[in-house]
Structure 1
Amino acid sequence: MRLGLHALGIGTGAHRAVIDAVAVAADRHGFATLWAGEHVVMVDRPASRYPYADDGRIAVPAAADWLDPMIALSFAAAATDTIRIATGVLLLPEHNPVILAKQAATLDRLSSGRLTLGVGVGWSRDEFAALGIPFARRTERTVEYLAAMRTLWREEVGSFDGEFVAFDDIRVNPKPFRAGCIPVVFGGNSDAALRRVATVGDGWYGFNLDGVDAVAERIGVLRGFCRDAGRDPAEPTVAVALAEPTIGDIAALVAAGVDELVLVAAPREDPAEAGDWVGELARRWLPDILDATPQERSQRSEH
């Protein structure tokens, strides 16, 4: 199992010097992925319930800095050599898919193929309203946008004729670092989100899950949907962030089939201390993750 870090783009993680320090330290200490999420709009009195907290309220203050993840991750990629970068998650139906296809391919090319595009359908009616995008049928819009983007990544001259997006014989360059391929993982913990992973996704990013049992149950549902879709249940990758992770969870997460445990935390505000903070996380978590046995990993196929 790998260890990821979701710490960039918000609050103290929105400062250039802190991004550099965290990214460099995470790369040096053996973290697998740097994650950054997205909200274009925050409001003081949201009309929609936040789906990843029992009280329905997002923990990030409305007035906090929240960087565009594609731009923030481009700085992280420029400061590093090997660590992967991932949007966790970008709200796909809020973007023009032709522009986003170019932006993602650009970042993937400049980072030598290190981008994972994590996407979601969105939950905030306020945000969609501010952007002038219909909240209704956002799932259908997301699936179609992704199909259009993959067409542009794959084809030298691409055409697409859908309900929400259409183009004819266009060239969008650059192409991804690996021909036609940027891994796309879906966020969301609901059955509907897991069904999207099984049918059109390369992986799942489960967020703020309440313990190992919840993770194992959701992975079981995902594998059932994969079988229904005629897909190998072990094919989609699985990254999860727990609400309160512990070192003792590692063996059970490996056995359940988790590929990456993502730590969600705010870095130190002082850039000189931010790198040390990453090192402390690595010394606490990575030895146990790296010691996860092949026998535990092999249990993945039995669940």
Structure 2
Amino acid sequence: MPEAHQPAAVRPALSLQPPNFAAKDPGIGGWRHLFDQARGADAAGIDRLVVSDHVVLGEQLGHYADPKKGGIKGGVQPTGPDGQWLDPIVLLSMWAAVTKRTRFLTGILIAPLRRPATLAKQLSTLDVLSEGRLDIGVGVGWQREEYEANGIEYDGRGKLLDETLEICQTLWKNESASHRGRIANFDKIHLNPKPAHPCGVPFWISGTLNPNVMQRIVKYGSGWIPWGDDGMNPLEGIKKIREALAKAGRSAEGFETTSYIPIAYGADKKIDVAKTMSVVPAMVAGGLTDLRVTLELPKSQAAVEDLLTPLVQGFRQAAGRR
């Protein structure tokens, strides 16, 4: 079984998710602010930048609010079917070129929509060029139309994800790799460059903690991105994951879990940093390692740095970081 990438210890991280989408086409040159925002976040000390994924959009976007269809209760898509969604891997490669220290995470990449060996090559290349700053959150998504547009079976997407992760980790860990499976068969295949870490790019598994997702986490996961009802109480989910890891003979040390910090505003409509970060000690004590904020960002690098620096300082103090 391929070994998941799991560092010995992690420190609490503050993540930021600038939108890699727009409701309307901003036109050529209309995305340049994303580079300045990444530079500003990097300079301010943000630990991780997060992007999301849609390859195509169908017209039944209301399904996103239906847990039975893979959505989330009350969920609302941020754009209509004609929304503009940048490819996350391409965008992260651009961010890697304009930043120095911040890590990157897909939240999430719909991995079953990609051919496994090609995906392994793209991710290992990005990881090497970013000097090991890549984490990949993966899930099956919720939109049947995305699978149909790619000629991929929607109902078997969980098994497709499992085999995709298996193939990626096999190619990353072996100089001469072989695999027998449902979607690919190969013998003595060589994929290079390898990722920066010998165990490969870390996979963070997204989903509610049903048996299939739990098995996926134990087998392939370096982290968990909560979803659905489990996202409302991730600390309980962390306990379940720790038990499952222990049962499988894996240490929970270094395992990552993400959640959101709600932004609190004062009467002056400015961010109340102390109130915003007051929830952090309990979140960290409960096992959360990656705490994410979402907020409207200015477009210039200097303004982004000015906005985020107090948040970073407040977070580090609340999380016990120096």
| TM-score above 0.5, yes or no | yes
For the residue of structure 1 that corresponds to 2:46, the secondary structure is coil
- Going from structure 1 to structure 2, the CA distance change for 1:243 and 1:225 (only over 3 Å counts) comes to farther
1:2 is aligned to 13
Q: 1:163 to 1:208 in 2, by over 3 A?
A: closer
Q: Distance in 2 between matches of 1:266 and 1:39?
A: 21
Give the equivalent residue in structure 1 for 2:225: 205
Q: Equivalent residue for 1:57?
A: 76
Residues 226-245 of structure 1: pairs in structure 2 closer than 5 A:
226-241=245-260
Question: Does residue 273 of structure 2 align to residue 253 of structure 1?
Answer: no
CA separation of 1:224 and 1:279: change in aligned 2, threshold 3 A: farther
* Code of the aligned partner of 1:279: D
In the TM superposition, residue 82 of structure 1 has moved relative to its aligned partner by 1.1
Q: 1:36 aligned to 2:55?
A: no
Hey, what does 1:289 align to over in structure 2? Answer: 315
Report the Cα distance in structure 1 between the residues aligned to 2:21 and 2:64, rounded to whole angstroms. 20
SS at match of 2:292: strand
How far residue 63 of structure 1 moved from its aligned partner, in angstroms, is 2.2
Greater Cα shift, 56-65 or 124-133: 56-65
CA contact (8 A) 1:198 1:236 kept: no
53-62 vs 91-100, greater mean Cα deviation: 53-62
The question of whether the paired residues in 2 share the 8 Å contact of 1:241 and 1:262 is answered with yes
Counterpart residue number, 1:68: 87
- Counterpart in the other structure of 1:301: none
Task: State whether residues 153 and 181 of structure 1, in contact with CA within 8 Å, keep that contact through their aligned partners in structure 2.
Answer: yes
The 1:275/1:142 distance shift into structure 2, 3 A limit, reads: farther
What letter corresponds to residue 259 of structure 1 in structure 2?
T
The equivalent of 1:181 in structure 2 is: 200
Matched residue SS, 2:278: helix
Residue 170 to residue 4, structure 1, CA distance change in 2 (3 Å): same
The letter for the 2-side match of 1:91 is I
Which shows bigger deviation, 193-202 or 76-85? 193-202
* Deviation per residue, 1:17-55 (Å, 9 max, x gap): 212111111111111111111110112323734456432
Aligned counterparts of 2:223 and 2:216: Cα–Cα separation in 1 = 10
Q: CA RMSD in A?
A: 2.7
1:143-195 deviation per Cα after TM superposition (whole angstroms, max 9, x unaligned): 11111111111112211111222112222222112334211111223434344
Match of residue 27 from structure 1? 42
Question: Match of 1:261, as an amino acid?
Answer: L
**Whole-angstrom distance in 2 between the partners of 1:47 and 1:280:** 34
Q: Are 1:145 and 2:164 an aligned pair?
A: yes
Task: Report the CA distance between 1:292 and its aligned residue.
Answer: 3.1
TM-score calculated relative to the size of structure 2:
0.81
CA distance in 2, matches of 1:58, 1:41: 13
Q: Partner of 2:55: helix, strand, or coil?
A: coil
Distance in 2 of aligned mates of 1:131 and 1:68: 15
User: Do 1:27 and 1:83's aligned partners in 2 also have CA atoms closer than 8 Å?
Assistant: yes
**TM-score normalised by the chain length of structure 1:** 0.86
Richer in helix (by share): 1
The Cα shift of 1:247 comes to 2.3
**Conservation of the 8 A alpha-carbon contact between 1:240 and 1:260:** yes
In structure 2, the CA distance between the partners of 1:111 and 1:256, relative to structure 1 (3 Å rule), is same
Task: Trace 1:156-171 onto structure 2 (pairs within 5 A).
Answer: 156-171=175-190
Deviations 1:111-170 (A, max 9, x none): 111111111122111211121110112111111111111111111221111122211222
Counting aligned pairs with the same residue, the percent is 30
Shift in Å, 1:62: 2.6
Aligned residues: 290
8 Å contact kept, 2:208–2:230: no
